[in-house]
Amino acid sequence: MARRSDHAPEELKRLALEAGRAIVMEEGLRGLTVRRVAERIGYAPGTLYNLFANLDDLIVQLNAATLDALAVVLVEAARAELAARPERLVEAYFDFVESRPRLWSLLFEHRLPEGEDLPDWYRPKLAALLGLVAEALGPLMPDQTREARQAATVTMWAGLHGISTLAVTSKLTLVAETEPRALGHLLVRRMLGGEN
């Protein structure tokens, strides 16, 4: 078990992900290259292939960390009293997106090569995130079946994603004078059966 310096493999991986994160935050996906990550941590490009299968793998792990961070802020928002939860969750979601737009963009901008799909450990992460929201908002849809509540939650989730994506890529300001955040609130209110 020899190593160049005092970086254990796990530590090195953490460093590489942190470097990748910094690059994405500064320049987005287009600036993220194997060589740049390697340079930033003071290693040769080849070394990264001991830690990750390839660049796609690194990106997927970067995205997993972003999902974890999102989960943290959503859990916090879900602590609010029942009536306030929808608004708090929407606020937390948009705060997150606006505070790290490029990192959040990476979540959806990056696509695995044709035919490859996300690793098995990714699925539970996503499911947990959705489950968290579903559980927080479930009591607000009492007269619905479990399936209906799940469908409503997923629709809200996808809807917020859609609004944010269009906003971040400025394809929304092209057609809407309303703030994305307000659209998010509107969406959730209506999906929960609100009257206005």
Partner DNA sequence: TAGAGAATTGAACACCGTTCAATTAATGCG
Partner DNA sequence: CGCATTAATTGAACGGTGTTCAATTCTCTA
Binding interface with DNA (CB under 7 A): 1-5, 7, 9, 12, 32-36, 42-47, 49-50, 54-56
Q: Is 101 in the site for a copy of itself (CB under 8 A)?
A: no
Orientation of helix 9-27 relative to helix 34-41, angle to 10°: 120
Cα gap 19→80, rounded to integer Å: 35
Q: Could you tell me which of 93, 86, 85 has the C-alpha nearest to residue 181?
A: 93
Please tell me the distance from the alpha carbon of residue 128 to that of residue 68, in angstroms, as a whole number: 10
Q: Least distance (Å) from a copy of itself to the CB of residue 159?
A: 4
- Cα separation, 105 vs 189, in Å, equals 25
Closest CA to 191 of 120, 137, 126: 137
List 8, 44, 72, 182, residue binding a copy of itself (CB under 8 A): 182
- Contact track, a copy of itself, 35-64, x by CB under 8 A: ------------------------------
Which positions touch a copy of itself (CB under 8 A)?
27-30, 105, 108-109, 111, 113-114, 117-118, 122-123, 126-127, 130, 147, 150-152, 154-155, 158-163, 165-166, 169-172, 174-178, 182-183, 186-187, 190-191, 193, 195
